[in-house]
Amino acid sequence: MDPLRSIAAWLVRRWLASLRWKSTRIDMTDPVIYCVWHRDVPAAGGYLRGRDVSSLVSQSSDGDFLVQILSGGRMEFARGSDSKGAIGGTRALLRRLQSGRSVATTWDGPKGPAGTPKPGPAWLSRMTGAPLVELRFEYGSHLVLRDWSGLRLPAPFSRIRVSEVRA
C-alpha cells in the first residue's frame, strides 16, 4: 500500500469525522436503497460510514481510495460500476438486499451526466421491492469542484443537514 495514499486516507477520515450532522431520518425496518447524486459522495460516505449498509463503489483507483477512506466503520462495499464489474456489483447488491441489508448507490453513476438518473437504482427496487430513499444534503461552508459532477466538499467542522426522502 502506498504510504502517501495511506496518509491521505487518514487525513480524509479525520476531515469526515469533523463534520456535524443534522438529519431527518425515515423510520424504516426493512432494507432500503439509499441514493445520492455523485456530487454528494464524500458527504454520503461520511454520513453512512457508521451504518449497516453496503455501498456500490467502482473498481477504479478512485474507488480503491474511497474504500480505503471509508473502511473501519460498519459500511461494507460491493465493487462494480456500469463500465467495469457491473454484473458482479449488481449481484452483490441484490444478495445484500435479499438478506435484509440496506444498500447505497448513486443516481447518476460514475460518469454522469450529472443530475441524470441511471436505471440501476430503480431496477434494484423493482427486483427486490426495497424502496428508494434519496439522501439530500444541504451544506454550510463548502467548495464545489469543476469536475463533471460538481463534487461538493464541505469545510472541516461544518454542519450538514441530511434529509432522507422516499423517492
pLDDT at 80: 81
pTM assigned to the model: 0.91
pLDDT at 85: 65
Three-state SS at 163: strand
pLDDT at 1: 63
pLDDT at 133: 96
Strand partners, 8: none
Q: What is the mean pLDDT of the chain?
A: 91
Please tell me the chain's helix, strand, coil percentages from 3-state DSSP, rounded to the nearest 5: 35, 25, 40
Give the angle 153-118-97 at the CA atoms, nearest 5°: 90
| pLDDT, mean of residues 53-81 | 89
Q: What is the DSSP letter of 67?
A: H
Three-state SS at 134: strand
Q: What is the DSSP letter of 113?
A: -
HSE-CB at 22 with a 13 A cutoff on CA atoms is 8
Three-state SS at 108: coil
| pLDDT, mean of residues 48-56 | 92
Residue reference for cell 495511506? 6
Give the angle 21-149-126 at the CA atoms, nearest 5°: 75
